[in-house]
Structure 1
Amino acid sequence: MAGIRLPPEDSDASQARHPVASDLISDDDRSVAADSWSIKSDYGSTLDDEQRHADASEALSAVNFRAASDYSSDKEEPDAEAEQSMLGFQSYWDSQYADELANFREHGHAGEVWFGADVMEIVASWTKGLCSEFSQGQLSNHVENAITESAGQQKEFSNWSVLDIGTGNGLLLQELAKQGFSDLTGTDYSEGAIDLARSLVAREGLTYIKFMVDDILETKIEQRFQLVLDKGTLDAIGLHPDGTVKRAMYWDSVSKLVAPGGLLVITSCNSTKDELMEEVDAYNQRRNSPSQGNEAGGEQEPSRLTPLFRYVDHVRTYPTFMFGGSVGTRVATVAFQRIVETS
């Protein structure tokens, strides 16, 4: 089942004042927003871990699986402001990571593990297996030698260049390091997140993991990576009032970061596997639409007639539950391959 839905675009949305941190944040609001957005685990929290998971699970169910009667025709339209979230604004994350960085310096806590430590471990181990299969040529219909060539003739997955966008405290990259990956880079638009991530890898002796401040929607990175991961960043982008436009910008940016033949692994609590596949299909179609052709309005280049991303696989081991006669999971992790374009 899908998560929070964005309302139709409002023509006045672009005229709205960009909220500042003082408008958005209180300690209570931050706690409620964070718990309602993802199932979390903690490294060093004084709170009971099982209770945190139970509270977050209950909040997720309330947000992500609203009963159909809540949208019946005799009710008013859902409040647009209620369906958006402070989690779509950088000011929220700057405040969040300022607090987590201060907490680390005072108590040594690593901070939150968004979606939970169990999900993070599943993502890392599943991704390792997927990359290993690609390296060994075990997956059918993948582009022969595409990843090998972009990795400088290194077939072993551990040598792949890896980028984690919206890395936060960088704990996913630490988990990938445990799985054998060594060329690891994390980016986040919050300087506080990057400062925290650097402090944590220094404490763990993993200083070969690189971090930099970068906004995925306006990325300055020119390198292409064999593996790009997103755990919650697309979700947060979609919660901005201009989420529809920003999600389109996201795909334009990501397409420039994934090496030809490389993999994009997205983990979401706000979209199902099928919805992510539909979003990729929509991007492929938009990219190949006549409006994207040459300025003369002539024929499109042959390479632009090919989908840029194709579905590869998804995690099947997340716990499932029944709701309204449908079976679903609270988290979806889906892998897409960037197709090698031919001239």
Structure 2
Amino acid sequence: MEESTINSSILGTKEYWENLYQQEINNYLDHSDPGEIWFGKGLTMKMVKWIKSKSSQLLPDDGDQIKILDLGCGNGHLLYSLYQQGYTDLTGLDYADKSIKLVNQMASDLGIVNNLKTYVADVLTLYKSNLIPERIKFNLIIDKGTFDAICLNPDLDLNQVKSDYLATLEAILFKGRSFFMIASCNWTKDELINMFTKSSQSFLSLYDEIETPQFSFGGSKGNNVTCLIFQRLS
């Protein structure tokens, strides 16, 4: 199959996101406005609902709390939504320092600091760093647009991006019963399946799909956003 490509964009640069989250910090401090909800509140609610419905499958064998990582957590809205549903072992990671500053400020104001860990880190180098201790693995990793943004970076090689991203997932997902949820507006369902299940280094299989709104054009149907869940094979 021919390798898919997408056009580069300023949305793929760290500078863009640092500037954006500085604006969101200012808005939050001035007006208590947490900022934009990436892909909308409706998808966030569907993602949280899916997680709630699969809690028994996500629960670790030792009966401990479900460990959830929001990979590219932005302003932390998804993490707060999960906390409101009773999830208390939550981690947010973003390469934009201002993003994590905003998340920490909001977590402090909401009184959930003890249930939320945050890291400033680049997902593409995380697998070869010691930022997150070796003992920390996750039952569920969620990406709500982060892979999209990374792929838009004009200075990165797309094939290397995919390889490094998969290496990080492999390093921090529990072996066995663990899951990876991704929402994308840049890649189709078939493209995501191809990237995450058919590469030589793949360790994932398609597990489920969250229904998202469809559009019709020229007799064909598609989705503005695709949301898939993959399970770790081993």
Instruction: Find 1:169's aligned residue among 67, 75, 80.
Output: 75
Q: 1:300: which partner in 2?
A: none
Instruction: Tell me how far 1:124 sits from its aligned partner.
Output: 1.3
SS in 2 for 1:164: strand
* Match status 1:238 vs 2:142: no
Structure 1 alignment gaps of length 5 or more:
7-82, 136-146, 288-306
CA positional deviation for 1:127: 2.2
Query: What is the Cα-based RMSD across aligned positions, in Å?
Result: 1.7
In structure 1, the residue matched to 2:203 is: 308
**AA aligned opposite 1:310:** S
Deviation of 1:199 after TM superposition, in Å, equals: 1.1
Contact kept, 8 Å, 1:125 with 1:179, in 2: the verdict is no
Deviation at 1:133, TM superposition (A): 4.3
Map 1:48-87; keep pairs closer than 5 Å: 83-87=7-11
- 2:162 touches 2:195 (CA, 8 Å); kept in 1? no
Whether contact under 8 Å (1:237, 1:247) holds in the other structure is no
2:97 corresponds to 1:191:
yes
Deviations 1:293-313 (A, max 9, x none): xxxxxxxxxxxxxx5111100
Could you tell me how far 1:5 is from its partner in structure 2? 4.0
Corresponding residue number in structure 2 for 1:121: 45
Which structure exhibits the higher relative contact order, with contacts defined as CA atoms closer than 8 Å and separated by 6 or more residues? Answer: 2
Report the 3-state secondary structure (helix = DSSP H, G, I; strand = E; otherwise coil) of the residue aligned with 2:124. Answer: helix
Q: Deviations over 1:64-98 (max 9, x none)?
A: xxxxxxxxxxxxxxxxxxx2100111111111111
1:1-343 equivalence runs, <5 A: 5-6=5-6, 83-135=7-59, 147-148=60-61, 153-154=62-63, 159-207=65-113, 208-219=115-126, 220-221=131-132, 222=134, 223-241=136-154, 242-244=156-158, 245-260=160-175, 261-283=177-199, 286-287=200-201, 308-316=203-211, 318-340=212-234
Separation of aligned partners in 2, 1:121 and 1:275: 25
SS of the aligned residue for 1:334 comes to strand
2:63 alignment partner AA: Q
Q: Return the alpha-carbon distance in structure 2 between the equivalents of residues 168 and 257 of structure 1.
A: 19
Aligned-residue sequence identity (percent) comes to 34
TM-score (norm: length of structure 1): 0.61
Letter aligned with residue 202 of structure 1: S
Structure of greater Rg: 1
Paired residues of 2:12 and 2:150 also in contact (CA < 8 A): yes
1:15-72, CA deviations, whole angstroms, 9 ceiling, x for partnerless residues? xxxxxxxxxxxxxxxxxxxxxxxxxxxxxxxxxxxxxxxxxxxxxxxxxxxxxxxxxx
Contact 2:58 2:139 survives alignment (8 Å): no
d(CA) in 1 for partners of 2:117, 2:109: 14
Q: Distance in 2 between matches of 1:310 and 1:181?
A: 25
- C-alpha separation in 2, matches of 1:134 and 1:210: 20
Normalised to the residue count of structure 2, the TM-score between the two structures is 0.88
Unaligned segments of structure 2, at least 5 residues: none
CA shift at 1:214, angstroms? 1.3
What's the counterpart of residue 72 of structure 1?
Answer: none
CA distance in 2, matches of 1:203, 1:122: 26
